[in-house]
Amino acid sequence: MIHRHSVTDQPLPSALLHNGAETRRQYTRAAIKGMVQRFSRKAQTVQTQAEAAIDMPRMQGSV
């Protein structure tokens, strides 16, 4: 499955397209934002799994 991600929320004006430094900054900001979102989702999943493991009653009497 191929995912295509939009780099910026707003399309770049043509003046910015020719400004390499600003374009790189926007790509960097978008990449960091996506990375933070992925880490946040991963942390939420781990937290949910940890809470479920704590709440799960332990089986007793079996070896």
- 18/12 Cα distance (integer angstroms): 10
Note the pTM of the prediction, 2 decimals: 0.52
Q: How far is CA 25 from CA 4, 15, 48, in A?
A: 20, 15, 34
Q: Render each residue's pLDDT in the chain as its tens digit; 63 residues.
A: 565 655 556 665 665 556 678 878 888 899 999 999 999 999 999 999 988 888 776 655 555
Q: What is the pLDDT at residue 19?
A: 65
Please count the CA atoms within 13 angstroms of the CA of 27 that sit on its side-chain side.
8
16, 22 contact by CB (below 8 A): yes
Q: What is the pLDDT at residue 11?
A: 60
Q: What is the pLDDT at residue 12?
A: 59
